[in-house]
Copies of this chain bind each other. A is one copy, B any other.
Amino acid sequence: MDIAELSTKILSSDRRALARAITLVESGRADHRAQATELLDLLAQHKRQALRIGLSGTPGVGKSTFIESFGLMLTEQGLRVAVLAVDPSSARSGGSILGDKTRMERLSRDPNAFIRPSPSQTNLGGVARRSREAVALCEAAGYDVVLIETVGVGQSETVVSEISDLFLLLLAPAGGDELQGVKRGIMEIADVILVNKADGELKSAASRTCADYSGALRLLRKRPQDPAGFPKALMVSALEDQGLSIAWDELQQLDAWRREHGHWQQRRAEQAQYWFHEELRQAVLSQLNSAEAQGEINQLAQQVASGEVSSVKAAGLALARLNITTG
């Protein structure tokens, strides 16, 4: 593969080239990894940047409908929109939350939109790096907004918040009791909570839910990166296109304020550091992944299972046999 040529095509917004490049960064092969690194280095020189918006919400809250309506609103304004999915759960099932593009039929046909389903990956470390690199590729391809979608499982919100400038939490209307269904950790990373389905029979429930979450957000500790009034909860109806432009205005205001006050820059710097530490952790742990290491480890694991040796002692033996010196 001619990496310089691929780079040029991506910079000229060739969607097929972008798709090929994402496939490249998703590959686990060593030669592909080297090419991916070369490509990312070439593209990084152009320093193109999009507004990165993370989006989380459990199944059933209407994420696809929201992304379709929100994405189409942005493309109508002349913006170019990329949609990526981070879905560690699909790593297990082999499935893909965006696998079926027909879920966003109109947006997927829009020439100013790019939708990339989540890949089948085998570990969250891999998912994280692939997602970061896919975002960088979309930025290089000139997309103005990159939406990074995830379902609310395990550590995926952390991954998404660490590659996003803004984090949206999408909720469905519900009884007031259900507040505790949202993990506190997710509340704490949300910049804007959108209560979807504020239409038809659910409108009054959406209003109550929105008020409940507004109250809950006020109880959270004030974050230095928030102007007055943020984080906030808003009602939207993706189905009826209600509230989406207000939400977009709010997101833009928040983004502008953060850029003006240095928080955007600081956040991106912190994220780069976070990923440096994560890369380091994953690399160090990969010492245990070689065929030789796996052989030793499996053998010791048998002895641990049979009670011949304790887990602590076996760990010490494994390190000695693999010549790993620890601190």
- Please list the residues of chain A having a beta carbon within 8 angstroms of any beta carbon in chain B: 37, 40-41, 44, 129, 174-175, 177-178, 180-181, 269-270, 272-273, 275-281, 283-290, 293, 297, 300-301, 304-307, 310-312, 314-316, 318-319, 324-327
Contacts and interface: CB of A to CB of B under 8 A. Distances in A.
28 contacts: A40-B310, A44-B310, A129-B312, A175-B175, A177-B178, A178-B178, A180-B181, A272-B310, A273-B304, A275-B311, A275-B312, A276-B304, A278-B311, A279-B311, A279-B312, A279-B315, A280-B297, A280-B318, A281-B288, A283-B315, A283-B316, A283-B326, A284-B285, A284-B287, A287-B325, A287-B327, A288-B327, A290-B327
A286 B174 contact: no
A326 B303 CA distance: 26
Residue of A37, A44, A288 ringed by the most chain B CB atoms within 10 A: A288
Contacts of A41: 310
A201 B272 CA distance: 54
Given A278-B311, A283-B319, A290-B327, 18 more contacts: A174-B177, A175-B175, A269-B305, A269-B306, A269-B307, A272-B307, A272-B310, A273-B311, A279-B314, A279-B315, A280-B315, A283-B315, A283-B326, A284-B284, A284-B326, A285-B285, A286-B327, A293-B327
